Structure 1
Amino acid sequence: MDFQTFRQRQKNITIDGIIDEPVTVAYTDVGVGEPLLLLHGIPTWSFLFHEIIDPLSQRYRVIAPDLIGYGYSDHRDRFDRSIEVQADMIERFLDKLGIPAAHFVAHDIGGGVALILADRSPDLVRTMVLSNSVAYDSWPIDEMLQLGHPRNAKMDPEDVKQLMEEALDVGLSRPDRSTDEFRTGIAKPYLEPDGIVSLVRNAASLNTNHTTKLTDRINRLTQPTLLLWGVDDQWQPVSTAEQLVKDMPNAKLHAVENCSHWVPQDAPEEFTGAVLEFLDQVG
């Protein structure tokens, strides 16, 4: 799906309780069936899933929000964008949609959000697919630490484009998957002045303490979990997935060969097939 079609299909909802006035969340909501929530990471937005949403929606109600500060959700320079606050937002978001429980498919920092919710609101998280997710002290990576410096809020759009191009060169293994459509769509929300500031604030909010505090609780997370991992990832290596499999009582690893960090884009067919097979198995 191209950027324009994806963007036109997004809806908006307002969420209370994050700051002293409502924040706006942009999201996709398509299909019928059990709710399946897709959570992206940094520096992407829900467009990361543009090729897998429709296939998954043939069997599930697929809901893909932009985290606050990301994509086309609220960009205002007025709130914390940490994964703890993103977890608060997701709880309120699902409650407002009348969804008491969902399957979570989560990438990068979205995986950190899923782990937080699986721990503190276990009834909300039916199952988890964690794809090249942050966990333990695996993050933030050097590039995000550098991006988060306040001086970068004055970058111009060409600087942001260059940053995203360099990231995509590392985050995708398959040359045919590094399409102009994907590159353009992923960067688009962060090329306006407020988007540039928001991207920098997003990077500044990354806090490893929000997952290290879960380390001695990982073995209490009993949700069926699939670690769906691109093995070429230099940022969130497969060793993190291997440790999660050891520590989580109901987790298994599906390693994706010739695939780097952005698995939904690098290997969309294998990603979709693995998610559906896993959900079939866990019922």
Structure 2
Amino acid sequence: MNFQTFQQRQKRITLDGIIDEPVTVAYTDVGAGEPLVLLHGIPTWSFLFHEIIEPLSQRYRVIAPDLLGYGFSDHRDRFDRSIEVQADMVERFLAELDIPAAHFVAHDIGGGVALILADRSPDLVRTMVLSNSVAYDSWPIDEMLKLGHPRNAKMEPADVKQFLEEAFKVGLSRPDRLTDEFRTGISKPYLQRDGIISLVRNAASLNTNHTTKLTERIKLLKQPTLLLWGVDDRWQPVSTAEQLVKEMPNAKLRAIENCSHWVPQDAPQEFTEAVLGFLDESV
């Protein structure tokens, strides 16, 4: 699905109780069945999942929000974008949709959000697929620390394109998966002035303390969990998954060869098959 079709299909919802005034969240909601929530990372948005939403929606109600400050959700320069606040948003969002429990497929910082929710609201999180997720003190990576400097709010669109292009080459192992459709779709929300500022603020919000405080609680997370990892990833290495699988009581690791950080784009068929197979076993 191309960017225009994907973005036009998104719905909008206004949520209060997160900051001192309502915020707007853009999201996809397709399919029927048990809810399956997809959470993206930085510097992407829910378009990261554009190739896997349709096959997943044949069996599940697939809900893919843009996190606050990302994609086509609220970009205003007046709120925290940390994974703690994103967890607040996801809880409030699902309550507004009248969803008391869901399966979660979460990538990068979205995985950090899922871990927070699994700890503080265990009844909300039925199962988890954590894909090249942040955990422990594995983040923020150097590129994000540099991006988050306030001076970068003055970047021009060409600068953002160059930054993302360099990231694409590292985040994908398979050259044929770096398509013009992916380039355009991921970049589009971050090429206007408000999107550039928002991307920089998103990077500035990354705080390793929000996952290190869970380190001693990882062993208490009993949700069935699949660690679905691209082994070429130098940003979130597979060693993080190996540590998680040792400590989480109901976790298993599925490593994908010739695959880097953005697994849903790099290996969409393997990703989809692994998610559906895991859910078949777990539900």
Structure 1-normalised TM-score?
1.00
Match of 2:4 in 1: 4
Which residue in 1 is equivalent to 2:254? 254
The equivalent residue for 1:216 is: 216
Measured against aligned partners, the alpha-carbon deviations of 1:114-163 in whole angstroms (never above 9, x if no partner) come to 00000000000000000000000000000000000000000000000000
What CA RMSD, in Å, does the superposition of the two structures yield over aligned residues?
Answer: 0.3
The aligned residue for residue 20 of structure 2 is 20
The equivalent of 1:241 in structure 2 is 241
1:87 partnered with 2:78: no
Q: The residue matched to 1:69 in structure 2 has which SS?
A: coil
SS in 1 for 2:128: strand
Task: Name the counterpart of 2:207.
Answer: 207
> Which string of whole-angstrom CA distances, capped at 9 and with x for unpartnered residues, describes residues 159-183 of structure 1?
0000000000000000000000001
CA–CA distance in structure 1, aligned partners of residues 192 and 153 of structure 2: 11
TM-score by length of 2: 1.00
Provide the rounded CA distance (Å) in 1 between the counterparts of 2:26 and 2:274. Answer: 27
Paired amino acid for 2:218: I
Q: Deviations over 1:234-272 (max 9, x none)?
A: 000000000000000000000000000000000000000
Matched with 2:43 is 43
The C-alpha deviation readout for 1:52-89, integer Å capped at 9, x for no partner, is 00000000000000000000000000100000000000
- Please name the residue that 1:52 is paired with: 52
* Sequence identity (%): 86
Q: Is 1:230 matched up with 2:230?
A: yes
Deviations 1:201-224 (A, max 9, x none): 000000000000000000000000
Contact 1:18 1:79 in 2 (8 A): no
SS of the equivalent of 1:274 reads helix
Equivalent residue, structure 2, for 1:148: 148
Aligned to 1:270: 270
Give the SS at the match of 2:71.
Answer: coil
Letter in 1 for 2:24: T
1:21: how far off? 1.2
Shift of 1:17: 1.1
Question: Are 2:110 and 1:102 aligned?
Answer: no
Matches of 1:143 and 1:17, distance apart in 2? 32
For the 8 Å contact 1:112–1:134, the answer to whether it is kept is yes
> Equivalent residue for 2:131?
131
Alpha-carbon shift at residue 20 of structure 1 (Å) = 1.5
**How many Å separate the matches in 2 of 1:268 and 1:241?**
19
Number of residues paired by the alignment? 283
Structure-2 residue corresponding to 1:188? 188
Offset of residue 19 of structure 1: 1.5
Equivalent-residue separation in structure 1 for 2:85 and 2:266 (angstroms): 29
Q: Corresponding residue for 1:174? A: 174
Partner SS, residue 258 of structure 2: coil
C-alpha distance in 2, partners of 1:61/1:138? 31
Letter of the structure 1 residue corresponding to residue 219 of structure 2: N
Q: For residues 71-109 of structure 1, what are the alpha-carbon distances to aligned partners after superposition, in whole Å with 9 as ceiling and x for unaligned? A: 000000010000000000000000000000000000000
| Secondary structure of residue in 2 paired with 1:243 | helix
Unaligned runs of 5+ in 1: none
Unaligned runs of 5+ in 2: none
Contact 1:69 1:199 in 2 (8 A): yes
